[in-house]
Amino acid sequence: MAKMKLNILAEKFIGTANGVYTAFLQAEENLKKRDDVELHINESGSDFDVVHSHTIGLEYILKSFRWKGKLLVSAHVVPDSFIGSLVFSKLWQPVAKLYLKFVYSLSDVIIAVSPVVKEELQRIGVKKRIEVLCNSVNRRKFKQDDALRAKFRKKLNLKEDAFVAVCVGQIQPRKGVAVFIEAAKKCPNITFLWVGGRPYGRLTADFDRLTEVVDNAPKNVIFTGVVDFEDMPGYYAASDVYFFPSLQENFAYATIEASSVKLPLLLRDNPEYGPTLFTHYLKALEVDDFAKELNKLNSDSAYLKKWQNESDVLASKYAIEAYMNQLIDIYRSVMT
């Protein structure tokens, strides 16, 4: 079989500290390993069998007409993704809906990262073919690792016996940083680690209020700021539970990265999680309930082990190998 000439695109405006860029990096890393793909990165020509864009900015729009009949786009965001992320998002959300409908409709095939995303795209009027392909994880990279655990605990000045609840994400209202800090106040014997920063600066929603909240966080909370993606396995390995009180997600990469390291998942009880995370995570809504679960995971080794195993089962359902085979099948369906 002839090699597929594939071009993958990620526009620079998205930055590097987000799940969209993670998806792009993961695609690049794994597509390079395939014998049936001739991979090109961010090229502007038209001599490709398939073009797959992970972003939906101006470059994507301008070049979409050149790539008609061979263009796929990953749908990482829906209108609700903007609420609590960027300034004045509620005011321009109606415009965002129109924009998303327009840009996704430029593509021949849309790859939705969860069933909920597909439903939302259809709800806002996108008529193009939509395939659901949930995010995946490289289990050889994201795994329990005693050496990494020791290295990153030393880097973070953590004691060997410290129980660490980690969250990965940008510091913005939608991610639940205020709830994370309130839970830390109720669990003084647990160390809370937030990996991520504010790459969009003052464009972040509630920037000043969040600055005050972060500056006045208790001593058992650590903020790393933006980190290199290659260091992420170490931050997970240094932790004991993944605590993610985000108010809205489509299918966050961090949940399956954490589950691959066998960290129990403690998440907000959001309706969109059920179709993708099934019964493999703990859920709560109020700060007191989050604190109760965290304290039980810290004090009850059998309970901790049970939810470590649940995370391991979840991660096995999203291994990168199966994902890449499904992705290649979608690519080839565009070529026929």
Please give the average per-residue pLDDT across 81-85, as a whole number: 51
**Alpha carbons 222 and 320: distance in angstroms, whole number:** 31
Indicate whether 92 pLDDT > 60: no
Give the pLDDT confidence score for residue 83 in this predicted structure: 47
Domain 146-316 fold is Rossmann fold (3.40.50)
Entry pTM: 0.89
**DSSP assignment of 41-65, as one string?**
ES---S--SEEEES--SHHHHHHHT
- Per the model's pLDDT, the better-predicted residue between 20 and 202 turns out to be 20
Question: If you search the block for the tokens 């000439």, which residue do you land on?
Answer: 5
Mapped onto helix, strand or coil, the DSSP state of residue 243 is strand
Confidence of residue 220 (pLDDT cuts 50, 70, 90): very high
Q: What is the CA radius of gyration of the chain?
A: 20
Contact 255, 119 (CB under 8 A): no
Contact 205, 175 (CB under 8 A): no
For helices 301-316 and 287-299, give the axis angle rounded to 10 degrees. 100
Please give the average per-residue pLDDT across 153-177, as a whole number: 93
Please give the average per-residue pLDDT across 80-106, as a whole number: 71
Confidence of residue 90 (pLDDT cuts 50, 70, 90): low
* Domain 4-136+319-335 matches domain 146-316 at the CATH topology level: yes
Instruction: Report the 10 Å Cβ neighbour count for 322.
Output: 12
Give the pLDDT confidence score for residue 204 in this predicted structure: 56
- Buried/exposed 159-170: b ≥16 CB within 10 Å, e otherwise: eeebbbbbbbbb
Mean pLDDT for the chain? 90
Give the pLDDT confidence score for residue 96 in this predicted structure: 82
**Alpha carbons 278 and 114: distance in angstroms, whole number:** 13
CA 246 to chain centre: 11
Give the pLDDT confidence score for residue 202 in this predicted structure: 58
Give the pLDDT confidence score for residue 86 in this predicted structure: 45
Amino acid present at 321: E
Domain 4-136+319-335 fold is Rossmann fold (3.40.50)
**Alpha carbons 228 and 122: distance in angstroms, whole number:** 35
Residue 37's H or E segment, with its range, is: strand 37-41
For helices 287-299 and 177-186, give the axis angle rounded to 10 degrees. 50
The domains of the chain are located at 4-136+319-335, 146-316
226-283 residue pLDDT tens: 899 899 999 999 999 999 999 888 888 899 999 999 999 999 999 889 999 999 999 9
Mapped onto helix, strand or coil, the DSSP state of residue 134 is coil
